[in-house]
Structure 1
Amino acid sequence: MPNIAHTQPHVYRVRVAVPVHIFDCFDYRLSPEQYQQAQVGARVAISFGRQNLVGVIVEKLAPDHPIDPRFKLKAISELLDQEAILPAEVLTLLTWSANYYQFPIGEVIQTALPALLRQGKPYNLLARVWKVLDLEAEAKLKRSEKQRDAYKILKLHPQGTLEHILNLSGIDNATLKALSNKGIIQCELETQDFSPEPVQMAQMPLSANPDQTHAIKSILKAQQRYQAFLLDGLTGSGKTEVYLQVMQQVLKQGKQVLVLVPEIGLTPQTISRFQSRFHCHIALLHSGLNDNKRLQAWQAAQTGKASIVLGTRSAIYTAMPNLGLIILDEEHDLSFKQQEGFRYHARDVALYRAAQRKCPVILGSATPSIDSYHLVEQGKLTCLELNQRAGTALLPKMHVIDLTVTQKQHGISQQLILEIKHRLEKKEQVLIFLNRRGYAPVLLCEQCGWQASCSNCDANMTLHYQPYQHLHCHHCGTIKSLPEHCPACQQESLKPIGMGTAKVEEHLQSLFPQYPVIRVDRDSTSRVGSWQKIQDTIHKNETAILLGTQMLAKGHHFPYVTLVAILDIDAGLLSVDFRAPERTAQLIVQVAGRSGRGEKKGDVYLQTYRPEHPLLQTLLHEDYRHFAKQTLHDRKVSQMPPYRSTILIRCESKDQAHNQQFLCKMATLLREQSQMSIDIWGPIPAPMERKAGRYQAHMVLLSSQRAQMHFYVRTWWQQLLQLKPNDCKVNIDVDPQELN
């Protein structure tokens, strides 16, 4: 057999991770001058097939490295960076993530780069600086409080203020533009200074109670080395104060802190706490930023200018040269798991990154995940408990309302109506939770039983009245106009059945017309700044009814809420997903935790048709930790995660039989290759078999030997992608959190 690989001196090459769904990296040719300049972690413009793409150099090959003469090497089109923008540490983290989650490294690297850098735009952008032109303009701004406040702040800084600093201070771009249009201020572009800023204390720490003091001291002992902590604190027990006091010591050493929160809605609340405690540069990284702001925040983190980086899931991959602490708040939240494409879990990546960086990591929650409790059981996490609410606040008392025996009005029990009325008359705030947005989940014909179902999914369409009457499928996004007659029997007997937040809002306004009802869901907060306005209203201590979905359950501090009601908890009690009890218990405890966080005692009311359900009884008479302990025992007996590692294979096509045949074939191949060391469940139809016009099938892989399963699956998965029929889409979900 001829030797096709031989040494070719003076061939200068780099290995490039290309943003395509192919697991290999690709070699590209450079000139000797380019080779000297090229840096691992820098971007290059390349031609790939018929596409012009932006890749990242992951390796510089020696000039005498063997080359296969069968392949003609392409030359890179351009070196885009003179220096690496992704340091070796982050590239190692991304490579580990690509291997663990079985995803192409070229696409994984895209997760770590802002959109403008992915598009090949230059690294250095000019900063937008706002300066005052008219020093006597205050009298012209009597009609707009926001413009007047912004003007006063700008006048304090005659040399100008960076736009992102103004944004962090609560001044939005619309206000700046309005002042600019009046000729009162102007925007100039200046070279951005990335020099690190000194950190100063803006406010003294609060007095820590014994539990907080123990947690703070334990975490600070772990500085300069890796140790992972589970901060298991009751709702309102002061977890944030623990974060702040640990951060203070880390920042004093000139190190950076990375703080992850599950959703954008929590960032204004969190950043206000940080700003009130520290004078330093805080970089925000989340999907609500425009491309320029995201790049500037990313640069501030990557250069060390930002002492604190606060972001959502993808911020875990942000380059930070002086990283000294990672905090994951609400660690149990499902939002930390990416549910499409590159399906990583930010919690698990955070643990790996902290170990890699040799720094402590804190996972905080009032309702830790069962996975985290298992890591405590294994000795991989150190559990620190906070067992009392901060200050004088007491834990709320929980009450269960049996819907089978109580009178109801608009789906709300008479007992609950009286309790709401009592709280409102005492000038207190009430929070009503319903995990279903829209007006009604079902549109039904009372004559023939027809239901408005989605033509593309195995699901009913939700009735919405805002911004106009329509039917909306929350699974595939299909929108239809409201029929005037029943399509089946032509009768005018269509009736909305069930309750969504919009319908409950209507009922509450009719029951309590003299009090405002503030609805908080994805529909009511879709406009920029709307969620911040709602929060401002809530914190004014005005009597009101807050009504919302899961957005209200996630770590918010509402000091004036004394009554929380969960209208319908039964859906979570009846789910077939083995994780459903865990999710339901977390939801109940988290929503309940919004009550009684101030000086007044709080109460929680749960409406249910199943008051004797074991989960409710455990939470009523014991607590979440007792529930978690029992759940761990049950999972161990049944050998379900976290006691066995899981990989979920999803397959979709226009024909369910094709899905089943293909997955059966691949299951046989995996059994042969792994010597039957992996349990394979399925293939079976997905819980929602048809979605967006395509049929879904699942296959679940389980093993008590994680490393061994990953070893076999790595080769098998790439074979599967090559053998996959063209009409099938498949994806792999390592450590899945949902089975839908």
Structure 2
Amino acid sequence: MYVRVALPGPFLKGLDYKFPFSDAPVLYTRVLVPLGKRQIIGIIIDKQSTCDFDHKKLKSVLKVLDTAPVISSININMINWLSHYYHSSLYQAFKLALPKLLLQREHAHPSCQYYYVLAKQFTPAKNAHQQQKALSLLSQESRLYHEDLKQHNIHLATIQALLKKEVIIKKKATLENEIKPAQNINNQDEPTLNKEQQHAVQQIQSRLYGFSTTLIFGITGSGKTEVYLQAIKPLIKQNKQVLVLVPEINLTPQTQTRFYARFAVPTVVINSKISDQTRLNYYYGIQQNHIKIVISTRAGLLCDFKELGMIIVDEEHDSSFKQQNGIHYHARDMAIVKAKAHDIPVILGSGTPSIESYYHAKTGKYHLLNLTKRALNQTPNTIQIINLQKHKAPSGISSILKQKISQSLENNDQVLLFVNRRGFAHSLICQDCGWCAQCDACETPYTLHLHPQHLSCHFCGKGVNIFTHCKNCQSTDLIDFGSGTEKLEHHLSELFPLARIARLDRTATQRKGALEKQLHAITQKKVDIIVGTQMIAKGHDFQHVNLVGIINADAGFYSQDFHAIEKNAQLITQVAGRTGRGIKAGEVLLQTYQPDNPMFALLLNGHYQHFLEHLLTTRKMLLYPPFSYQAYIYAQASQQSACITTLNTLAAQLGKMTQHQQAICQISGPIPAIAAKRSGKYRFSLMLTANNRKALHYLLKSINRFITQQTKVKLTFDIDPIEIK
């Protein structure tokens, strides 16, 4: 007997092995096999009694690790679809679906992890730095796993010393204590729905049993989350499971709180910050229907549900749902495929729907539900556009915005300021010769950070000390150019020294628990001014924010990437919607160098649908998606010439294939990618545009062999791209 095994590497269809055991092989079980000099865990994806290769040269499976498949038949179909549609290997698809430990350990069980909790107060010796660090971490968290402590470079000897002194206690984790207990349902706390919300809930519940896709187009503050909560009540009562997808980790705490408070059922959060063992525990809990509600980023999309009843994709427009490395899949699109496989409804929700979803709703492919009124406040926000040509803002704050901030602080209201760049300044520039401090590996300017002081490349993550002399002319006259969240925070602390300022960006919230702590402080009105990047634009319910300032609204409207206009419009609309969510009307101030740009009038006056109609007209004229189908092929190599030569060869092959197809396919390139160099590698791309999806995938499939043969150039596909990278 022979088996085909999915393995890491350039093996799209896996590798064949002898199966030297008496029991018949079981598909989709794990096996240990030799690969080169290593022993690797793979997945059996096929079996046969004959083999096309010389069986004497085939290696044998070393060990069978499971007696039954590790994944359900529905999820196997999902994995096959994912691999086929995004032109990846099956192993890459399995990596997305299975917990990492199942592919790393022969014995991976859901209840084999230990954690530590503080038992008593203890003051370590002054030179016992490791013990001090461990106790400090444990004081911040209710419990920590061994894996968590290892990530902070705390050695086993330190843990054992604290255990011996009985300062900490070691406990064994079980699936039950992995899951946070939900609170009891309190029907008195359930808000009364307005007519639009009631209609939405009724429409969703009328389609509970069978596949359908519904788009909830609801303005910010219209109560989409409450619609979700009330729509799934019948499913929870019927012991069904619900998957709630959110685009980013920072949105999970508040969503989690709402669901915990409403449903007394096991509810978990899955994102990239949970430990590998916790992920494994959740995997089995979901597979056994012990866990009922899963709130997750795209990391939980392929969880193996036993009784899935509905999928909700909140903020469906968000670009974070698109994976940008490995398999370039879109979690929203995959959620729809998953719902179809389970024959259940999928709900897409957004205040600024993606142009694709709106188009499908407009053409009848999706059901469209509109929420046009704010759930708790009918008073519209007031809008003011500040012309930066007349009102200068050298540090990001114009005199008008400064005055409005001052008034809000006097009224004990919170202020939210949005700037779409983290760090102190965009770059460090020499005033004498114009030299700019940039990352050599990516050929892009470093961003200046002050806490701690360093220069950082936001492409490859490299950090260096701040230059004191120009590397070109040795001048010491270096200035920071542009502004980011840190610089704005610094300037605000000088303007309003008594104000309590919170900065929400990826740098400020990277420590575990930092984001939750900041959000709690904002909710408790222990923060006066919130400064942030895209992180503050999405989904947050800031009840006390009554002034929003958009520092530079022009960023994004002028770009090589035709997707940028839509993304910038979504950001502006979402940020503006963070105010006026309480009992008072809010105020939005938008700083721009283009006060007459008609887009601003549409977006700020609640006409996002008109904006989408305008954008659809433009895209139809240019034959851009959703009126065509696109894919990008990226080439990455240490030499520019290698990228160009390889892509030219590919373009020639694709051109020949196109002549044999009945569909129109345009091939553009090779051209340098927008990030033309990253981590020392040059990047070029080809863009394929076809008038039907079948033709596009036929072309891509025809070059799979060529791609796997490349050794000096790394080639990747981006199917249905949402940005040019």
Q: TM-score, normalised by structure 1?
A: 0.88
**Letter of the 1:370 counterpart:** I
Please tell me whether residue 715 in structure 1 is matched to residue 697 in structure 2: no
Instruction: Measure, in 1, the Cα distance between the counterparts of 2:507 and 2:654.
Output: 45
State which of 5, 15, 27 in structure 2 corresponds to 1:26.
15
For residues 135-159 of structure 1, the C-alpha deviation after alignment (integer angstroms, 9 at most, x for no partner) is xx99x9xxxxxx9xx99xx9xxxxx
1:441–1:184 CA distance, 2 compared to 1 (3 A)? closer
Matches for 1:611-630 after TM superposition, within 5 Å: 611-621=595-605, 623-630=607-614
**Letter of the 2:97 counterpart:** A
Task: Give 1:579 shift.
Answer: 0.8
Task: Give 1:73 shift.
Answer: 3.1
Please tell me whether residue 489 in structure 1 is matched to residue 473 in structure 2: yes
Please tell me whether residue 701 in structure 1 is matched to residue 685 in structure 2: no
Matches for 1:468-487 after TM superposition, within 5 Å: 468=453, 470-487=454-471
Matches for 1:640-659 after TM superposition, within 5 Å: 640-659=624-643
Task: Give 1:502 shift.
Answer: 0.9
1:505–1:717 CA distance, 2 compared to 1 (3 A)? same
Task: Give 1:364 shift.
Answer: 0.8
**Letter of the 2:2 counterpart:** R
Contact 1:199/1:307, CA 8 A, preserved across alignment: no
For residues 303-355 of structure 1, the C-alpha deviation after alignment (integer angstroms, 9 at most, x for no partner) is 11100111111211110011110111111111110001111110111111111
Contact 1:21/1:107, CA 8 A, preserved across alignment: no
Instruction: Measure, in 1, the Cα distance between the counterparts of 2:264 and 2:144.
Output: 15
Instruction: Measure, in 1, the Cα distance between the counterparts of 2:604 and 2:258.
Output: 32
Contact 2:179/2:267, CA 8 A, preserved across alignment: no
For residues 100-153 of structure 1, the C-alpha deviation after alignment (integer angstroms, 9 at most, x for no partner) is 00111112111111121110242323266899999xx99x9xxxxxx9xx99xx
Please tell me whether residue 498 in structure 1 is matched to residue 482 in structure 2: yes
Please tell me whether residue 218 in structure 1 is matched to residue 199 in structure 2: no
1:177–1:213 CA distance, 2 compared to 1 (3 A)? farther
State which of 504, 513, 521 in structure 2 corresponds to 1:537.
521
Contact 1:428/1:543, CA 8 A, preserved across alignment: no
Please tell me whether residue 384 in structure 1 is matched to residue 373 in structure 2: no
Partner SS, residue 93 of structure 2: helix
1:427–1:25 CA distance, 2 compared to 1 (3 A)? same
Task: Give 1:177 shift.
Answer: 12
Please tell me whether residue 692 in structure 1 is matched to residue 675 in structure 2: no
Matches for 1:371-450 after TM superposition, within 5 Å: 371-392=356-377, 394-408=379-393, 410-450=395-435
1:727 is aligned to 712
Please tell me whether residue 334 in structure 1 is matched to residue 323 in structure 2: no
Please tell me whether residue 51 in structure 1 is matched to residue 38 in structure 2: yes
Please tell me whether residue 189 in structure 1 is matched to residue 135 in structure 2: no
2:129 is aligned to none
Please tell me whether residue 271 in structure 1 is matched to residue 256 in structure 2: yes
**Letter of the 1:513 counterpart:** P
Partner SS, residue 557 of structure 2: helix
Instruction: Measure, in 2, the Cα distance between the counterparts of 1:194 and 1:33.
Output: 40
2:6 is aligned to 17
State which of 283, 292, 296 in structure 1 corresponds to 2:268.
283
1:304 is aligned to 289
1:110–1:350 CA distance, 2 compared to 1 (3 A)? same
Task: Give 1:195 shift.
Answer: 14
1:355 is aligned to 340
Instruction: Measure, in 2, the Cα distance between the counterparts of 1:372 and 1:476.
Output: 33
Partner SS, residue 327 of structure 1: strand
Task: Give 1:20 shift.
Answer: 2.1
For structure 2, the residue ranges without an aligned partner over 5 or more in a row are 124-134, 147-158
2:232 is aligned to 247
Please tell me whether residue 553 in structure 1 is matched to residue 537 in structure 2: yes
Task: Give 1:29 shift.
Answer: 2.5
Task: Give 1:58 shift.
Answer: 2.1
State which of 83, 87, 92 in structure 2 corresponds to 1:102.
87
State which of 72, 84, 105 in structure 2 corresponds to 1:120.
105
1:681 is aligned to 668
Task: Give 1:721 shift.
Answer: 3.2
Instruction: Measure, in 2, the Cα distance between the counterparts of 1:200 and 1:533.
Output: 21
1:14–1:196 CA distance, 2 compared to 1 (3 A)? farther
For residues 222-244 of structure 1, the C-alpha deviation after alignment (integer angstroms, 9 at most, x for no partner) is 12200001111110111111111
Instruction: Measure, in 1, the Cα distance between the counterparts of 2:51 and 2:504.
Output: 61
Contact 2:630/2:696, CA 8 A, preserved across alignment: no
Task: Give 1:88 shift.
Answer: 1.0
Q: TM-score, normalised by structure 2?
A: 0.90
Please tell me whether residue 603 in structure 1 is matched to residue 587 in structure 2: yes
For residues 557-578 of structure 1, the C-alpha deviation after alignment (integer angstroms, 9 at most, x for no partner) is 1101000111012221111210
1:620–1:292 CA distance, 2 compared to 1 (3 A)? closer
2:77 is aligned to 92
User: Identical aligned pairs, as a percentage?
Assistant: 38
**Letter of the 1:30 counterpart:** F
State which of 503, 526, 530 in structure 2 corresponds to 1:519.
503
How large is the Cα RMSD of the aligned pairs? Answer: 2.9
State which of 638, 643, 648 in structure 2 corresponds to 1:664.
648
Bigger CA drift: 105-114 or 386-395? 386-395
Instruction: Measure, in 1, the Cα distance between the counterparts of 2:394 and 2:88.
Output: 52
2:186 is aligned to 203
Partner SS, residue 574 of structure 1: coil
2:563 is aligned to 579
Contact 1:128/1:162, CA 8 A, preserved across alignment: no
Contact 2:377/2:580, CA 8 A, preserved across alignment: no
Contact 1:197/1:305, CA 8 A, preserved across alignment: no
Partner SS, residue 242 of structure 2: strand
Partner SS, residue 290 of structure 2: coil
1:180–1:249 CA distance, 2 compared to 1 (3 A)? farther
Bigger CA drift: 516-525 or 74-83? 74-83
Task: Give 1:684 shift.
Answer: 1.2
Partner SS, residue 247 of structure 2: coil
Partner SS, residue 674 of structure 1: helix
Partner SS, residue 219 of structure 1: helix
Contact 1:197/1:306, CA 8 A, preserved across alignment: no
Instruction: Measure, in 2, the Cα distance between the counterparts of 1:58 and 1:183.
Output: 49
Instruction: Measure, in 1, the Cα distance between the counterparts of 2:702 and 2:614.
Output: 38
**Letter of the 1:692 counterpart:** S
For residues 676-724 of structure 1, the C-alpha deviation after alignment (integer angstroms, 9 at most, x for no partner) is 63210111122232222222211100111101221232122332332x3
Contact 2:179/2:268, CA 8 A, preserved across alignment: no
Partner SS, residue 632 of structure 2: strand
Bigger CA drift: 22-31 or 180-189? 180-189
Instruction: Measure, in 2, the Cα distance between the counterparts of 1:200 and 1:505.
Output: 38
For structure 1, the residue ranges without an aligned partner over 5 or more in a row are 1-11, 141-146, 155-160, 165-175
State which of 424, 439, 445 in structure 2 corresponds to 1:454.
439
1:596–1:90 CA distance, 2 compared to 1 (3 A)? same
Partner SS, residue 34 of structure 1: coil
Task: Give 1:668 shift.
Answer: 1.2
Task: Give 1:660 shift.
Answer: 1.9
Partner SS, residue 251 of structure 1: helix
For residues 184-233 of structure 1, the C-alpha deviation after alignment (integer angstroms, 9 at most, x for no partner) is 88443366569999999612232111111111111111122000011111
State which of 334, 355, 362 in structure 2 corresponds to 1:370.
355
